[in-house]
Amino acid sequence: MSLKLNDKTLFQSKALIGARMCESSSGSRVEVFDPATSQVLGTVPEMNSRDTQDAISEAESALSAWRSLTAAARSDLLRAWFQLVTDASEDLATLITAECGKPMAESRGEVTYAASFLKWYAEEATRAYGDIIPPHQPDKRLFVIKQSIGVAAAITPWNFPAAMILRKVGAAFAAGCTMVVKPAPQTPFTALALGVLAGRAGIPAGVLNIVTGSIDSSLEIGTAICKSSTVRALSFTGSTKAGISLAEQAASTVKKVSLELGGNASFIVFDDADIEGAVEGALAAKFRNSGQTCVCANRFFVQAKIHDEFIQKLTAAVKRLRVGPGNE
């Protein structure tokens, strides 16, 4: 399937390890589908534990030079990346809609949201202040210096393929960490496009590595990341079940683990509510982003007095929704 991109070089079908856009060591590839049409968008390498270790090694090799840069230098690179992401916003939105399925308006909004993390962390990079603590003895001096933890990894979901990556990577880069990113099997092309833009921004080879895979190989990749003593931090957004498994595996190397796991959101309507406003809110809460957000309503509680009126108006509103490809 051919996508209409202003910059066709943003559509990459190989993983990013060090300075190389490369295939998997096994040579196997996995298909990526447009969820609206079931058409094949393309294929990406189905990487394994060996490839993951290669990515970790590249991140480790790049770490010393990257963490040695001044905070101002890393800030400048994040700003440059922010500008390139902003300039390529329409192409990135097209990729997001194609592989994720959300409407173009929401994809454009995600790109703006995603880029804002780079801008934010570009500012925060220069504010990595330490602390001076009053000593307990007159001949002692106590102070805190903030340093990067080392190689970090991110495993991200498909529902926000740009925002979840830049939120994690922006923070890590600002702190002086190098990264191995494992995007969701359903949405690798957005991640790879962001990798292309990172290189153009001047971020050195090996600082950002992107390992692609299938649903099956994701387990192998995740295990390799968790078991590696080189990777010192892991950030994961996804299901509670997967998060528990990753935390258990990461414990063997005492990693710093950040988990954002599945939500359980209730939508509650009291009998003194504005019914029209409640219906509008319910549509947004339930159907935004194809109904796939961590705060998407999965239970509705409506007081008996307004139950029938709310159901009637909500049903009518849902019937007006149009299902179809996000670019239409």
Decide if pLDDT at 172 tops 90: yes
- Say whether 177 is catalytic: no
DSSP 8-state class, residue 3: -
Task: Report the distance separating Cα 157 and Cα 162, nearest Å.
Answer: 10
Tell me what percent of the residues of the chain surpass a pLDDT of 90. 92
Give me 225's structure tokens.
């990341």
SS3 111: helix
Long-range contacts of 311-315 (CB under 8 A, 24+ apart): 313/275, 313/276, 313/279, 314/279, 314/282, 314/283
Contact at 8 Å (CB) between 115 and 85?
A: yes
Question: What is the C-alpha R_g of the chain?
Answer: 22
267 alpha carbon, distance to own chain's centre: 26
pLDDT band at 1 (very low <50, low <70, confident <90, very high): low
pLDDT value at position 292? 84
What is the overall mean pLDDT for the chain? 96
Q: Which residues contact 160 (CB under 8 A, 6 or more apart)?
A: 110, 114, 289, 293
Model pLDDT for residues 82-98, shown as the tens digit of each residue: 999 999 999 999 999 99
- Say whether 226 is catalytic: no
Tell me what percent of the residues of the chain surpass a pLDDT of 70. 100
pLDDT value at position 57? 99
Q: Which residues contact 198 (CB under 8 A, 6 or more apart)?
A: 81, 207, 208
DSSP letters of 269-318?
A: E-TTS-HHHHHHHHHHHHHGGGG-STT-EEEEEE-HHHHHHHHHHHHHHH
DSSP 8-state class, residue 138: T
pLDDT value at position 290? 81
Q: Which domains does the chain have, with CATH numbers?
A: 8-261 (3.40.605.10), 265-319 (no CATH)
Q: How do strand 142-144 and strand 131-133 relate by DSSP bridges?
A: antiparallel
State mean pLDDT over 131-135: 94
Catalytic residue of the set 294, 296, 309, 328? 294
Give me 131's structure tokens.
């602390």
Model pLDDT for residues 45-56, shown as the tens digit of each residue: 999 999 999 999
State mean pLDDT over 179-186: 98
